[in-house]
Amino acid sequence: MEHGKVGCRLIVSAARGHERAVLRDLLDLLFPYDNSVDYSTVNNRICIKTTLDLNAVSRILGRFPVRNLVSARYVLLSEEAKPNLEEGLKRLCSRMCGSNIRFRKVSVRLRSREGWRQEYYYLIRECLQECTGGSADAYIEFFNGILVLTLKVF
Protein backbone atom coordinates (compact mmCIF):
# COMPACT_ATOMS: atom_id res chain seq x y z
CA MET A 1 0.00 0.00 0.00
CA GLU A 2 2.63 2.48 -0.98
CA HIS A 3 0.37 5.08 -2.61
CA GLY A 4 -2.59 6.08 -0.43
CA LYS A 5 -2.32 5.17 3.24
CA VAL A 6 -5.55 3.86 4.74
CA GLY A 7 -3.94 2.95 8.08
CA CYS A 8 -5.50 -0.46 8.60
CA ARG A 9 -5.70 -3.93 7.11
CA LEU A 10 -9.19 -5.01 8.13
CA ILE A 11 -12.41 -2.99 7.77
CA VAL A 12 -15.16 -4.41 9.97
CA SER A 13 -18.87 -3.69 10.15
CA ALA A 14 -20.87 -4.77 13.19
CA ALA A 15 -24.58 -4.98 13.94
CA ARG A 16 -25.88 -1.65 15.20
CA GLY A 17 -25.33 -1.27 18.92
CA HIS A 18 -22.85 -4.16 19.09
CA GLU A 19 -19.73 -2.37 17.84
CA ARG A 20 -17.90 -2.42 21.19
CA ALA A 21 -18.57 -6.13 21.78
CA VAL A 22 -17.46 -7.05 18.25
CA LEU A 23 -14.33 -4.94 18.64
CA ARG A 24 -13.48 -6.58 21.98
CA ASP A 25 -14.04 -10.08 20.56
CA LEU A 26 -11.94 -9.37 17.46
CA LEU A 27 -9.05 -7.94 19.44
CA ASP A 28 -9.17 -10.94 21.81
CA LEU A 29 -9.25 -13.30 18.85
CA LEU A 30 -6.35 -11.71 16.94
CA PHE A 31 -4.06 -10.86 19.86
CA PRO A 32 -2.51 -14.35 20.30
CA TYR A 33 -1.45 -14.24 16.62
CA ASP A 34 -0.46 -10.55 16.51
CA ASN A 35 0.56 -8.86 19.78
CA SER A 36 0.62 -5.43 18.10
CA VAL A 37 -3.01 -5.51 16.92
CA ASP A 38 -4.70 -2.12 17.30
CA TYR A 39 -7.86 -0.37 16.14
CA SER A 40 -9.63 2.88 15.38
CA THR A 41 -13.21 3.65 14.41
CA VAL A 42 -14.25 5.55 11.31
CA ASN A 43 -17.92 6.33 10.54
CA ASN A 44 -19.37 3.40 12.53
CA ARG A 45 -16.84 0.99 11.02
CA ILE A 46 -13.96 -0.58 12.87
CA CYS A 47 -10.49 -0.28 11.41
CA ILE A 48 -8.22 -3.11 12.64
CA LYS A 49 -4.47 -2.57 12.33
CA THR A 50 -2.70 -5.92 12.13
CA THR A 51 0.43 -7.48 10.69
CA LEU A 52 -1.41 -10.70 9.81
CA ASP A 53 -1.78 -11.51 6.12
CA LEU A 54 -5.01 -12.24 4.25
CA ASN A 55 -4.76 -16.02 4.61
CA ALA A 56 -4.14 -15.87 8.36
CA VAL A 57 -7.08 -13.51 8.96
CA SER A 58 -9.38 -15.64 6.78
CA ARG A 59 -8.36 -18.81 8.60
CA ILE A 60 -8.85 -17.26 12.07
CA LEU A 61 -12.26 -15.74 11.29
CA GLY A 62 -13.35 -18.98 9.62
CA ARG A 63 -12.49 -21.06 12.69
CA PHE A 64 -13.72 -18.70 15.41
CA PRO A 65 -17.01 -16.93 14.62
CA VAL A 66 -17.63 -13.50 16.14
CA ARG A 67 -21.21 -12.81 17.18
CA ASN A 68 -22.82 -9.71 15.56
CA LEU A 69 -20.02 -9.35 13.00
CA VAL A 70 -21.72 -8.21 9.78
CA SER A 71 -18.69 -8.14 7.46
CA ALA A 72 -14.92 -8.09 7.49
CA ARG A 73 -12.94 -6.97 4.44
CA TYR A 74 -9.16 -7.19 4.13
CA VAL A 75 -7.51 -4.13 2.52
CA LEU A 76 -5.28 -5.26 -0.35
CA LEU A 77 -4.54 -2.00 -2.13
CA SER A 78 -5.24 1.66 -1.57
CA GLU A 79 -4.91 4.66 -3.83
CA GLU A 80 -5.42 8.40 -3.59
CA ALA A 81 -8.44 9.49 -5.63
CA LYS A 82 -6.61 12.62 -6.75
CA PRO A 83 -6.52 14.49 -9.10
CA ASN A 84 -9.89 12.84 -9.80
CA LEU A 85 -11.75 9.60 -9.15
CA GLU A 86 -11.32 8.30 -12.71
CA GLU A 87 -7.52 8.52 -12.50
CA GLY A 88 -7.55 6.93 -9.04
CA LEU A 89 -9.69 4.04 -10.35
CA LYS A 90 -7.35 3.51 -13.31
CA ARG A 91 -4.30 3.37 -11.01
CA LEU A 92 -6.05 1.04 -8.57
CA CYS A 93 -7.22 -1.35 -11.31
CA SER A 94 -3.81 -1.36 -12.97
CA ARG A 95 -2.08 -2.14 -9.66
CA MET A 96 -4.64 -4.87 -8.95
CA CYS A 97 -3.90 -6.68 -12.20
CA GLY A 98 -0.17 -6.03 -11.80
CA SER A 99 -0.28 -7.66 -8.36
CA ASN A 100 -1.87 -10.77 -9.89
CA ILE A 101 -4.91 -10.55 -7.60
CA ARG A 102 -7.77 -12.82 -8.67
CA PHE A 103 -11.43 -12.46 -7.68
CA ARG A 104 -14.85 -13.95 -8.34
CA LYS A 105 -16.62 -10.59 -8.67
CA VAL A 106 -15.99 -6.93 -7.94
CA SER A 107 -18.62 -4.73 -6.33
CA VAL A 108 -18.33 -0.96 -6.38
CA ARG A 109 -19.37 0.82 -3.19
CA LEU A 110 -18.95 4.43 -4.29
CA ARG A 111 -21.55 7.19 -4.29
CA SER A 112 -22.13 10.09 -6.65
CA ARG A 113 -21.15 12.55 -3.91
CA GLU A 114 -17.71 10.85 -3.90
CA GLY A 115 -17.40 11.48 -7.65
CA TRP A 116 -18.82 8.18 -8.93
CA ARG A 117 -20.40 8.13 -12.40
CA GLN A 118 -22.07 5.20 -14.17
CA GLU A 119 -19.61 5.29 -17.09
CA TYR A 120 -16.85 4.20 -14.69
CA TYR A 121 -18.36 0.67 -14.68
CA TYR A 122 -17.12 0.24 -18.25
CA LEU A 123 -13.64 1.43 -17.24
CA ILE A 124 -13.48 -1.03 -14.33
CA ARG A 125 -14.84 -3.95 -16.35
CA GLU A 126 -12.36 -3.31 -19.15
CA CYS A 127 -9.44 -2.98 -16.74
CA LEU A 128 -10.22 -6.05 -14.66
CA GLN A 129 -11.28 -8.67 -17.22
CA GLU A 130 -7.92 -10.42 -16.94
CA CYS A 131 -8.13 -10.59 -13.12
CA THR A 132 -11.08 -12.97 -12.85
CA GLY A 133 -10.85 -16.60 -11.80
CA GLY A 134 -10.51 -16.30 -8.03
CA SER A 135 -12.92 -17.35 -5.32
CA ALA A 136 -13.23 -14.17 -3.22
CA ASP A 137 -15.49 -11.14 -3.59
CA ALA A 138 -13.63 -7.86 -4.07
CA TYR A 139 -14.93 -4.38 -3.26
CA ILE A 140 -13.84 -0.97 -4.46
CA GLU A 141 -14.84 1.64 -1.92
CA PHE A 142 -13.84 4.82 -0.13
CA PHE A 143 -12.55 4.47 3.40
CA ASN A 144 -11.42 7.49 5.35
CA GLY A 145 -10.95 9.54 2.15
CA ILE A 146 -8.86 6.87 0.35
CA LEU A 147 -9.91 4.61 -2.52
CA VAL A 148 -9.41 0.99 -1.38
CA LEU A 149 -9.65 -2.47 -2.85
CA THR A 150 -10.79 -5.01 -0.26
CA LEU A 151 -11.43 -8.74 -0.29
CA LYS A 152 -14.25 -10.18 1.78
CA VAL A 153 -13.00 -12.52 4.51
CA PHE A 154 -16.30 -12.76 6.40
3 vs 49, residue with greater confidence: 49
Question: Which CATH code is given to the segment(s) 10-75?
Answer: 3.30.70
Question: Is 56's pLDDT higher than 80?
Answer: yes
pTM for this prediction: 0.85
pLDDT in tens, 77-128: 998 877 788 888 888 888 887 777 778 888 888 888 878 888 888 888 877 7
Does the structure show a pLDDT above 80 at 3? Answer: no
In the predicted structure, residue 10 carries a pLDDT above the cut 80 = yes
Mean pLDDT of 14-21: 94
Q: Check whether the bond before 32 is cis (ω within 30° of 0).
A: no
- Distance of alpha carbon 19 from its chain centroid, rounded? 18
Question: How far apart are alpha carbons 65 and 44 in whole angstroms?
Answer: 21
DSSP character string of 93-121? HHHHHHTT--EEEEEEE--GGGT--TTHH
CA distance 105 to 121: 13
